[in-house]
Amino acid sequence: MSKTERPVVGIGEILFDLLPGGAQLGGAPANFAYHVCCLGGRGVAVSAIGKDPRGAEIKSILTSKKLEAVLPQVDYPTGVVKVSLDGQGVPEYTIIEDVAWDNVPYTAEMKALAENAAAVCFGTLAQRSAVTRATIMSFIADMPDDGLKVYDINLRQHFYSREIIEASLKVADILKINDEEIGIVGKLFGMEGENEAVCRVLIESFGLRLVILTKGAEGSDVITMQEKFSVECPKVKIADTVGAGDSFTAAFVHAYLRGDPIEECHMLANRISAFVCSRSGAMPDYDRA
Q: What integer pLDDT is reported at residue 263 of this predicted model?
A: 95
- Closest by CA position to 124, among listed 68, 70, 82, 185: 185
Q: What integer pLDDT is reported at residue 241 of this predicted model?
A: 65
Q: What integer pLDDT is reported at residue 242 of this predicted model?
A: 65
Residue 223 contacts residue 203 (beta carbons within 8 Å): yes
Residue 251 contacts residue 273 (beta carbons within 8 Å): yes
Q: Is 163 exposed, middle or buried (0-12, 13-18, 19+ CB in 10 A)?
A: exposed
Q: What integer pLDDT is reported at residue 288 of this predicted model?
A: 45
Query: What distance in Å separates the CA atoms of residue 41 and residue 187, rounded to the nearest whole number?
Result: 37
CATH class of 3-280: alpha beta
Query: What distance in Å separates the CA atoms of residue 28 and residue 262, rounded to the nearest whole number?
Result: 23
**Side chain identity at residue 127, one-letter code:** Q
Q: Taking the domains of the chain in order of start, what are their residue ranges?
A: 3-280
Q: What integer pLDDT is reported at residue 184 of this predicted model?
A: 96
Q: What integer pLDDT is reported at residue 64 of this predicted model?
A: 93
- Residue-by-residue DSSP string for the chain: --GGGSEEEEES--EEEEETTEEEEE-HHHHHHHHHHHTTSEEEEE--EESSHHHHHHHHHHHHTT-EEE--EESSPPEEEEEEE-TTS-EEEEEPPS-GGGS----HHHHHHHTT-SEEEE-SGGGGSHHHHHHHHHHHHTS-TT-EEEEE----TT---HHHHHHHHHH-SEEEEEHHHHHHHHHHHT--S-HHHHHHHHHHHHT-SEEEEE-GGG-EEEE-SS-EEEEPPP----S--TTHHHHHHHHHHHHHHHT--HHHHHHHHHHHHHHHHTSSSSS--GGG-
Residue 41 contacts residue 254 (beta carbons within 8 Å): yes
Helices 195-206, 179-189: inter-axial angle, 10-degree rounding: 60
pLDDT in tens, the chain (289 residues): 667 789 999 999 999 988 777 888 989 999 999 999 999 999 999 999 999 999 999 999 999 999 999 999 999 999 998 878 787 777 777 889 999 999 999 999 999 999 999 999 999 999 999 999 999 999 999 999 999 999 999 998 899 999 999 999 999 999 999 999 999 999 999 998 999 999 999 999 999 999 999 988 788 999 999 999 998 877 767 655 666 889 999 999 999 999 999 999 999 999 998 887 767 666 778 764 4
